[in-house]
């Protein structure tokens, strides 16, 4: 039996759902046009986000997602990001965790990479 609860990915612009559990924004930049109240977040874990260099290189190009995933996972071994990942793992062990992103393509975002690592 797994000791990890459900980990899911949602866009910050979608309405919060009753089953979201703990909602954590995993983007480095605050979502455009979104207020803190409307975002309905429990945390903003911006230190887990990919580096600006990686994010700009990737540009959410679906053809680069596999390589983005490899490079991002490598970045997650850096001390600050590794600590943030451990924090998210701790949350996922005790409750449903919803990773929030502003990405238009949440299925090819850093949040999806993180959800895969946390499950």
Minimal CA–CA distance to 20: which of 99, 73, 90, 76? 99
Q: Can you tell me the distance from the alpha carbon of 57 to that of 95, in angstroms, rounded to the nearest whole number?
A: 34
Q: What residues make up the domain containing 17?
A: 7-118
Task: Find the distance separating the first CA and the last CA of the chain, reported in whole Å.
Answer: 12
Does some domain include residue 56?
Answer: yes
66-74: long-range contacts, CB 8 A cutoff, minimum separation 24: 68/108, 68/113, 69/113, 72/110, 72/113, 73/113, 73/117
Confidence band of 4 (pLDDT split at 50, 70, 90): low
The pLDDT tens digits of the residues spanning 69-94 come to 999 999 999 999 999 999 999 999 99
Residue 34 DSSP label: -
Does some domain include residue 32?
Answer: yes
DSSP helix/strand/coil, 22: strand
Does some domain include residue 2?
Answer: no
Count up the domains in the chain and report the number: 1
The pLDDT tens digits of the residues spanning 20-74 come to 999 999 999 999 999 999 999 999 999 999 999 999 999 999 999 999 999 999 9
Residue 106 DSSP label: G
Does some domain include residue 75?
Answer: yes
By DSSP bridging, strand 7-11 and strand 97-101 are parallel
Does some domain include residue 41?
Answer: yes
Residues 6+ away with beta carbon under 8 Å from 3: 93
Beta-bridge mates of residue 24: 43, 99
């Amino acid at each position: 039996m797994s000791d990890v609860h459900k980990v899911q990915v949602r866009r910050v612009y979608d309405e919060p759902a009753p089953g979201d559990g703990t909602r954590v924004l995993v983007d480095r930049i605050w979502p455009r046009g979104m207020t803190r109240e409307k975002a309905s977040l429990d945390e903003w874990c911006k230190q887990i986000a990919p580096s600006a260099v990686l994010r700009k290189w990737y540009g959410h190009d679906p053809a680069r997602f596999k390589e983005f995933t490899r490079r991002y996972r490598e970045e997650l071994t850096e001390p600050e990001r590794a600590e943030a990942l451990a924090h998210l793992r701790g949350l996922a062990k005790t409750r449903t965790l919803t990773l929030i992103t502003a990405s238009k393509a949440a299925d090819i975002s850093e949040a999806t990479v993180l959800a895969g690592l946390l499950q």
